[in-house]
Amino acid sequence: MTHPFEIELETSLPASPEQVWEAIATGPGIDSWFMGRNELDPREGGTAVMETGGHRAEAVVTAYEPGKRLATRTATGEDGRFMAFEYLIEGRDGGATVLRVVHSGLLGDDWQDEYDALRRGWPFHLHTLREYLTHFPGRTAVPVFAAAPAAGRTGPEVRALLARALSLPLPVAAGTRVHGEPAGLPPLDGEVVWADDERFEVRTADGLYTFHHGSGLVLMFHHLFGPTPGGAGGEAGTGTGAEAEAAWQRWLTGALT
């Protein structure tokens, strides 16, 4: 049995409508604040693709009005499930832009848990979009994803392991200045800019680093705007996204061992 849902949010962003459009309607822009690696065919009827951890999700672009409106919709599954996304852009005085996001569709039998996860996740993603447009305007990021099982540990236990491996103080709280030293990777000098019961995010001069723990998995969604780790030893260089992912995957596995 399917269950309809709709999540609607609105946020003010310190960027022009053109900058916001680039962030939500191009592959490199989406890579810089959302999840996975993204591609978007810029036309109505085109395809939007997101790849995360080997999983590929596709949607059809159902509306494409540059600087104003973007909408996509996944295909309807055999069980009737689908998801639709709509982004509406409105410029305001002073160079600001209001973005309204509507996420709707049909969920399956476990709809309540899935809906709760989506409802909790969107404020964080819009926060990351604001961080991107505020601190990294005109730049695009290399997206980095890594995952590992929580191995029966509770959320607080996983959080403590991550904090210890990053040399972060507990509790991890927004506004805390940090000097993290992840083994085999360059230091993280920056600030915790988001912290809730499921995730925390650190902003440095060249990246946004997210650590998520929930549903039996520990996930990392990073956006690297500067040099990426380039191989063994963790020296900063011009490594590829694949090399950065491999380095962070090794770190995550070691942190949870």
CATH of the domain at 160: 3.30.530
Among 135, 150, 165, residue at a domain's last position: 135
Q: Which tens digits make up the pLDDT trace of 16-74?
A: 999 999 999 999 999 999 999 999 999 999 999 999 988 999 999 999 999 999 999 99
Q: How many domains, in total, are found in the chain?
A: 2
| Residue 246 structural domain | 142-255
CB within 8 A of 119, min separation 6: which ones?
7
Residues 124 and 152 in one domain: no
Map residue 126 onto helix, strand or coil: helix
| CB 165, CB 182: distance < 8 Å | yes
Residues 89 and 204 in one domain: no
Alpha carbon distance 10, 118 (integer Å): 15
| Alpha-helical runs (H) found in the chain | 17-25, 27-31, 111-135, 155-166, 241-255
pLDDT of residue 234: 37
pLDDT of residue 235: 40
Alpha carbon distance 35, 144 (integer Å): 9
Alpha carbon distance 89, 218 (integer Å): 33
Q: Which tens digits make up the pLDDT trace of 198-238?
A: 999 999 999 999 999 977 899 999 999 987 655 433 343 34
CATH of the domain at 68: 3.30.530.20
Alpha carbon distance 159, 184 (integer Å): 20
User: Computed over its alpha carbons, how large is the radius of gyration of the chain?
Assistant: 18
Among 109, 135, 161, residue at a domain's last position: 135
Residue type, 124: F
Among 114, 135, 156, residue at a domain's last position: 135
- 143 strand-pairing partners: 223
* Inter-helix orientation angle 111-135/17-25, to 10°: 130
The verdict on whether omega for the bond into residue 171 sits within 30 degrees of 0, i.e. cis, is: yes
Q: Which tens digits make up the pLDDT trace of 103-150?
A: 999 998 888 888 898 999 999 999 999 999 999 999 999 999 999 999
Residues 19 and 129 in one domain: yes
- Cut 0.85: pTM above it: yes
- Range list of β-strands (E), 172-216: 177-180, 188-195, 199-204, 207-214
Mean pLDDT, to the nearest integer, of 78-101?
A: 94
| CB 31, CB 49: distance < 8 Å | no
Residues 90 and 47 in one domain: yes
Return the residue matching tokens 């993290």: 180
Q: Which tens digits make up the pLDDT trace of 153-209?
A: 999 999 999 999 998 889 999 999 989 888 889 899 999 999 999 999 999 999 999
Which pLDDT band, with edges at 50, 70 and 90, does 81 fall under? very high
Q: Which residues of 41-75 are buried (b: 16+ CB within 10 A; e: fewer)?
A: eeeeeeebebbbeeeeeebbbbebeeeeebbbbbe
Share of the chain residues as helix, strand and coil, in percent rounded to the nearest 5 = 25, 40, 35
pLDDT of residue 231: 43
- 87 strand-pairing partners: 70, 101
